[in-house]
Amino acid sequence: MKIFSASQIYEADNSTIKNQGITSVELMERAANQVFNWMHLRLQDTTVKIHLFCGIGNNGGDGLAVARLLKQHGYNIGVYVVNYSDKRSQDFLINLDRLKDIKVWPDFISDASDLPRITPDDILVDAIFGIGLNRPPASWVVVLLQHMNRSRAFILAIDVPSGLFLDKVPKDGKGIVCANHTLTFQVPKLVFFLPQTGIYSNGWELLDIGLDQEYLSKTETDYELTGKNEVLQWYRPREKFSHKGTYGHALLVGGSFGKIGAVLLASRACLYSGSGLVTAYVPKCGYLPVQTGLPEAMVITDEGEEQIFHIFFDIDPSVIGIGVGMGTENGTVKAFGEFLKNNKRPLVIDADALNILSKNKGMLKDLPAKAVLTPHPKELERLIGIWKDDFDKLEKAKSFSKKFNCVLVIKGANTVVLYNDKGYVNTTGNPGMATGGSGDVLTGIITGLIAQGYDSLQAAIFGVYLHGRAGDIAVEKTGYQALTATGIIDSLGGAFLDLFQVAEGPQVQRSDNDS
Ligand SMILES: NC(=O)C1=CN([C@@H]2O[C@H](COP(=O)(O)OP(=O)(O)OC[C@H]3O[C@@H](n4cnc5c(N)ncnc54)[C@H](OP(=O)(O)O)[C@@H]3O)[C@@H](O)[C@H]2O)[C@@H](O)CC1
Ligand SMILES: Nc1ncnc2c1ncn2[C@@H]1O[C@H](COP(=O)(O)OP(=O)(O)O)[C@@H](O)[C@H]1O
Ligand SMILES: [K+]
């Protein structure tokens, strides 16, 4: 599913109006009806007070139209116009008149006004700013937003929590509504998925307002949200007359004394992802643990007892996953540098191999085309330098990926895979996966998919999806705290099977706090 920018959403609006022969206020009415229906279904004629805070643009117009529909259905409402500018939109004014027609007169809040009384049992609708916010709100508006946040009332944001820009992180976190839920129109917004801005809404949901499908399908976007529907098209079925040779031979290189488990986890995940053969390359001390812990895998040992000194093997792997638990001792750094110079195979690079690359940037020129790099935030910072905010991080990461022709997997709550100026935002996974070893599992999965012939970009996107989905399946049985990396691997089979379960319904995402 595409993630559109604000200017693209305005274009979609215009082509909808043009191609469907409707007016903009009719489109606003559609949007308001969807919000109202969502609320009416859940509120079931409640008598709880609903306060609607409306700006003076189209987001405010949506709020006023929702207020009218709520009033017409007998709800107990209070309506406030947050009068932050004299430049009211046409559709706002039309909806203000329509509200007055049914004898609802909003309170106008400005710099000098007292703040409305809100109790924790009330419901707030936030329709102050939408995607049109283009500068920080005035200080009195910030005071109002803080008042709403402090009220402990349930806050339902329309389109986006007010105070969030679609393309940058606000400097002042106090001037942003902290919504319990956001009903967003037609398309997901990138801000829902970035750590610095995603925290302002506990959950979000799409409301279909019938925007012009032709515009939506033909327009290219910088980001896409990837879920089951997107990855399923790439799934490669197992052929009846295939054999283990059909599904590739993956080599996992890594481990050092005390960190052999990382290779064990990556190798097991690789096997559970369908790689035909899996070999682990470890220092000598890793031989017994890997051989015993994973009888299906083969093991090659380095000449080093406790760390890797010289990466040499006489097999012909289809792909190599390198770095987990490997350490950054001088001998290992040298071995990795020499390995990169001679290597011709596709690579998945993680953990200490990334740390070595960060300290020896000259090695980056030896990466094979479309190598997959899987940094967590700290590893990413070492690799691309510090960033100003999450948007800057994505830009820096995109240019890094372009410069070195690599697929960059930025791990996190919503992992983003970057390649060729495009970002793929993952939808699966949960906070239970914030546990040692879960990254090693991801390395194994991506390596296993490449072994089976998936293109490395597809393997990265699909692997990240499967990893998160396996985590989501596992957490159902364990809860967040008891989820382990091994638990994720054990649910990989379930994640594959789940690909063929009923198609996805509308997007709904909730964070930890909601569950
Ligand atoms: N296709 C869809 O998705 C549909 C979307 N719809 C709805 O429209 C919403 C977008 O509406 P919008 O363009 O009128 O912008 P909105 O956010 O209401 O802001 C209003 C104006 O405020 C101004 N302004 C900005 N920052 C400011 C500041 N700090 N302090 C003071 N003023 C500031 C700025 O104007 P400026 O002063 O810069 O000229 C801006 O234009 C969208 O989120 C959705 O709810 C639906 O109705 C129909 C279908
Ligand atoms: N809050 C979260 N929600 C979803 N996924 C998460 C969350 N926290 C971590 N993960 C996932 O878990 C993995 C952690 O990787 P990493 O930090 O490298 O772990 P390790 O180095 O211990 O193996 C990543 O794939 C990341 O996306
Ligand atoms: K809003």
Average pLDDT, the chain: 95
Asked whether the predicted pLDDT for residue 16 surpasses 80, the reply is yes
Asked whether the predicted pLDDT for residue 508 surpasses 60, the reply is no
For residues 315, 316, 320 and 323, what is the CA-based torsion angle, rounded to 10 degrees? Answer: 30
Asked whether the predicted pLDDT for residue 243 surpasses 90, the reply is no
- For residue 60, the ligand 1 atom closest to its alpha carbon is 18
**DSSP 3-state assignment of 205?**
strand
Beta-bridge partners for 373: 349, 408
Does any ligand 2 atom lie closer than 6 A to the CB of residue 509?
A: no
Residue-range domains of the chain with CATH: 2-221 (3.40.50.10260), 230-234+247-499 (3.40.1190.20)
CA distance 65 to 53: 12
- DSSP-based helix, strand, coil % in the chain, nearest 5: 45, 15, 40
257-285 tens-digit pLDDT? 999 999 999 999 999 999 999 999 999 99
Q: What's residue 503's pLDDT?
A: 57
Closest ligand (CA of 200): 3
Closest ligand (CA of 31): 1
Confidence of residue 112 (pLDDT cuts 50, 70, 90): confident
Q: What's residue 208's pLDDT?
A: 97
Does any ligand 2 atom lie closer than 6 A to the CB of residue 102?
A: no
Asked whether the predicted pLDDT for residue 512 surpasses 50, the reply is no
Residue nearest to atom 21 of ligand 2 (CA): 439
Half-sphere exposure of 266 (CA within 13 A, CB side): 33
- For residue 512, the ligand 2 atom closest to its alpha carbon is 1
Q: What's residue 504's pLDDT?
A: 55
Distance of CA 438 to the CA centre of its chain: 17
Closest ligand (CA of 155): 3
Provide DSSP, 141-164: HHHHHHHHHHT--EEEEESS-TT-
Q: pTM for this one?
A: 0.94
Element (H, E) at 204: strand 203-207
Asked whether the predicted pLDDT for residue 515 surpasses 50, the reply is no
**DSSP 3-state assignment of 423?**
strand
* Distant-in-sequence, close-in-space partners of 243: CB < 8 Å, separation ≥ 6: 276
Q: What's residue 172's pLDDT?
A: 86
Q: What's residue 509's pLDDT?
A: 53
322-338 tens-digit pLDDT? 999 999 999 999 999 99
Residue nearest to atom 40 of ligand 1 (CA): 132
Does any ligand 1 atom lie closer than 6 A to the CB of residue 158?
A: yes
Q: What's residue 203's pLDDT?
A: 95
**DSSP 3-state assignment of 449?**
helix
Q: What's residue 294's pLDDT?
A: 97
CA torsion sign for 245, 252, 344, 371 is positive
Does any ligand 1 atom lie closer than 6 A to the CB of residue 63?
A: no
376: annotated binding-site residue? yes
**Overall average pLDDT of the 483-489 stretch:** 98
CA distance 318 to 447: 9
21-66 tens-digit pLDDT? 999 999 999 999 999 999 999 998 899 999 999 999 999 999 999 9
321: annotated binding-site residue? no
CA distances (Å), 492 to each of 269, 276, 282, 479, in order? 8, 16, 24, 17
Instruction: Tell me if 182 sits within 8 A of 154, measured CB to CB.
Output: no
**Overall average pLDDT of the 470-480 stretch:** 98
State the Cα angle at 124 between 123 and 130, rounded to 5°. Answer: 150
Ligand 1, from 85, 93, 110: best to mutate by most atoms within 8 Å of Cβ?
85
